[in-house]
């Protein structure tokens, strides 16, 4: 065989990968806590944390130990059998939340699809075939075809047409628009209590209470997509606790695995209506990931740990507010350790690049919108590290 040529256009570390996004040339080799190291040995303070998945930071000993212990004992007994970590994690989640039943998957899109199927199954049984789900403008629920339909990203309703139908859109924080979207075919409302990908948009507490009352009155399931907000990210185990309401169904992913693929669908007993064969998944509830989830949940959902998250969040918020004043930025907002910084112009991508390129230490940030920076540090970040991050952020803002 003759060696294949690599064209200059595709040269670089990722030339064997299908292009799905523009990645910097950096190759990361190691992570510890809030820090990442690349192949050249340069260190970065990481406020992205795998897109808010590494709730305990990079390679925390508690996860390394849970993985090693479980890997040497039982990797996968099949989703058709019980295993101890799956049972224990389900029990733990039920104990911590207002829900009674749990199904495990591996990604946010997967459990959101499962929530949709559960709602449709319930609608068929209890509401004469009602099946339509009301979701929100600028929502993000995942990248499978149905979740692209459920999401509110501009263009996503036609990008890979034909798209699954059965979704209506309402305006976030506008209860009248939800009322208008309801038809006899409506079965559920699906909402992120904080819209993460849209740029950390917070639901208004009054709106959420009205939404809970409206969905109860009209016999609609209230599905909370807590894929990004759940498991300590917002300073409570679940974001719904901040609003004083109980959803009927909830999905969890990012934080619960602490970096490994683990997702959960939770529901109240009255919506526990899947029939055998309705739902499944090759890796659902595998003991390896469940053992990690158990270690993460047992660490994060301790009252002392959550109180510390709230303290660190307040410290970060104060620091960001100071930067807003110093640099003439628009605003700082967020809940817990999911925060955003609104810039006066569309320079967020430049700030992200400048922060990454800082020497000798880089800072990793995310720009979910052209004028917006998002910060989602490890829940274990220290005040000293927050101070360092704020100093690096100031430098990056000065460069841009
Ligand atoms: C990340 C995210 C998803 C999608 O999760 P995947 O694991 O990427 O499929 C869904 N909903 C919300 C709110 C998210 O933040």
Average pLDDT over residues 54-63: 98
CA-proximal residue: ligand 1, atom 15 (nearest) = 228
Q: Calculate how far, in angstroms, residue 354's C-alpha sits from the geometric centre of ligand 1.
A: 27
pLDDT value for 11 = 56
pLDDT at 248 over 80: yes
188-211: string of b/e by CB count within 10 Å (b at 16+)? Answer: bbbbbbbbbbbbbbbbeeebbebb
Q: Calculate how far, in angstroms, residue 279's C-alpha sits from the geometric centre of ligand 1.
A: 19
How far apart, in whole angstroms, are the C-alpha atoms of residue 182 and residue 232?
Answer: 32
Residues with CB under 6 A from ligand 1: 107-109, 112, 140-142, 192, 196-197, 225, 227-228, 253-254
Q: Which atom of ligand 1 is nearest to the CA of 251?
A: 11
pLDDT value for 13 = 84
Residue whose CB lies within 8 A of the most ligand 1 atoms, among 52, 142, 225, for a mutation test: 142
pLDDT at 8 over 90: no
Given the structure tokens 């930067």, which residue do they identify? 323
pLDDT at 247 over 90: yes
Q: Calculate how far, in angstroms, residue 383's C-alpha sits from the geometric centre of ligand 1.
A: 28
Higher pLDDT, 339 or 8: 339
Average pLDDT over residues 52-64: 98
Residue whose CB lies within 8 A of the most ligand 1 atoms, among 228, 256, 281, 335, for a mutation test: 228
C-alpha dist (Å) from residue 237 to 98, 159, 222, 364: 11, 36, 19, 26
Q: Which atom of ligand 1 is nearest to the CA of 139?
A: 13
Q: Which atom of ligand 1 is nearest to the CA of 144?
A: 9
Q: Calculate how far, in angstroms, residue 194's C-alpha sits from the geometric centre of ligand 1.
A: 13
Write out pLDDT tens, residues 64-74.
999 999 999 99
Q: Calculate how far, in angstroms, residue 57's C-alpha sits from the geometric centre of ligand 1.
A: 19
CA angle 212, 218, 219 (to 5 degrees): 85
DSSP-derived secondary structure letter, 195: E
CA-proximal residue: ligand 1, atom 5 (nearest) = 108
pLDDT value for 1 = 45
Q: Calculate how far, in angstroms, residue 31's C-alpha sits from the geometric centre of ligand 1.
A: 23
CA dihedral 350, 367, 371, 163 (to 10 degrees): 130
pLDDT value for 81 = 96
Fold of 61-300: 3.40.640
Average pLDDT over residues 297-302: 98
Q: Calculate how far, in angstroms, residue 138's C-alpha sits from the geometric centre of ligand 1.
A: 13
DSSP-derived secondary structure letter, 70: H
Beta bridge partners of 134: 168, 189
Q: What proportion of the chain, given as a percentage, has pLDDT over 70?
A: 97
Q: Calculate how far, in angstroms, residue 59's C-alpha sits from the geometric centre of ligand 1.
A: 22
pLDDT at 5 over 70: no
pLDDT value for 252 = 98
pLDDT value for 257 = 98
pLDDT value for 6 = 44
Least confident range from 14-28, 139-153, 239-253: namely: 14-28
Q: Calculate how far, in angstroms, residue 112's C-alpha sits from the geometric centre of ligand 1.
A: 8
pLDDT at 10 over 90: no
Please state the φ and ψ torsions of residue 266, each to the nearest 5 degrees: -120, 145
Q: Calculate how far, in angstroms, residue 142's C-alpha sits from the geometric centre of ligand 1.
A: 5
pLDDT band at 15, cuts 50/70/90? confident
Q: Which atom of ligand 1 is nearest to the CA of 263?
A: 7
Q: What is the three-class DSSP state of 91?
A: helix
Write out pLDDT tens, residues 374-394.
999 999 999 999 999 999 999
Average pLDDT over all residues of the chain: 96
The domain 22-52+303-399: what is its CATH number?
Answer: 3.90.1150.10
pLDDT at 356 over 80: yes
pLDDT band at 42, cuts 50/70/90? very high
pLDDT band at 14, cuts 50/70/90? confident
CB 373 within 8 A of CB 327: no
Least confident range from 4-13, 278-287, 380-389, 390-399: namely: 4-13
Q: Which atom of ligand 1 is nearest to the CA of 107?
A: 7
Domain boundaries, the chain: 22-52+303-399, 61-300
pLDDT at 9 over 50: no
pLDDT at 4 over 70: no
pLDDT at 157 over 70: yes
Q: Which atom of ligand 1 is nearest to the CA of 228?
A: 15
Q: What is the three-class DSSP state of 149?
A: helix
């Amino acid at each position: 065989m003759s060696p294949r040529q690599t064209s200059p256009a595709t040269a670089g570390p990722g030339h064997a990968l299908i292009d799905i996004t523009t990645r910097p040339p950096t190759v990361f080799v190691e992570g510890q806590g809030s820090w990442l190291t690349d192949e050249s040995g340069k260190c970065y303070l990481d406020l992205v944390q795998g897109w808010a998945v590494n709730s305990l930071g990079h390679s925390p000993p508690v996860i390394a130990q849970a993985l090693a212990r479980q890997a040497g004992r039982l990797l996968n007994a099949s989703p058709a059998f019980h295993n101890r970590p799956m049972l224990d994690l389900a029990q733990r989640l039920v104990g911590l939340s207002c829900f009674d039943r749990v199904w495990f998957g591996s990604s946010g899109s997967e459990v959101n699809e499962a929530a949709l199927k559960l709602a449709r199954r319930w609608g068929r049984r209890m509401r004469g075939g009602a099946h339509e789900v009301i979701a929100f403008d600028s929502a993000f629920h995942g990248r499978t075809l149905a979740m692209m339909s459920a999401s509110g990203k501009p263009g996503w309703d036609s990008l890979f047409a034909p798209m699954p139908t059965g979704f209506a859109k309402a305006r976030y924080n506008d209860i009248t628009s939800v009322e208008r979207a309801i038809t006899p075919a409506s079965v559920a409302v699906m909402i992120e209590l904080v819209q993460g990908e849209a740029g950390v948009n917070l639901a208004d507490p009054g709106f959420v209470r009205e939404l809970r009352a409206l969905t109860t009155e009209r016999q609609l399931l209230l599905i909370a997509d807590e894929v990004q907000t759940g498991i300590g990210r917002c300073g409570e185990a679940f974001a719904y606790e901040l609003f004083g309401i109980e959803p009927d169904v909830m999905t969890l992913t990012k934080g619960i695995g602490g970096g490994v693929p683990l997702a959960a669908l939770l529901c109240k007993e009255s919506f526990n209506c899947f029939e055998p064969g309705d739902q499944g998944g090759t890796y659902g509830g595998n003991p390896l990931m469940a053992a990690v989830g158990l270690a993460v949940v047992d660490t994060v959902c301790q009252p002392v740990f959550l109180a510390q998250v709230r303290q660190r969040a307040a410290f970060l918020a104060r620091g960001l507010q100071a930067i807003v004043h110093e640099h003439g930025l628009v605003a700082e907002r967020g809940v817990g350790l999911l925060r955003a910084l609104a810039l006066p112009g569309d320079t967020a991508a430049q700030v992200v690049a400048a922060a990454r390129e800082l020497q000798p230490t880089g800072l990793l940030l995310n720009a979910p919108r052209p004028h917006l920076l998002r910060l989602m540090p490890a829940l274990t970040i220290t005040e000293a590290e927050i101070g360092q991050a704020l100093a690096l952020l100031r430098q990056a803002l000065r460069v841009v």
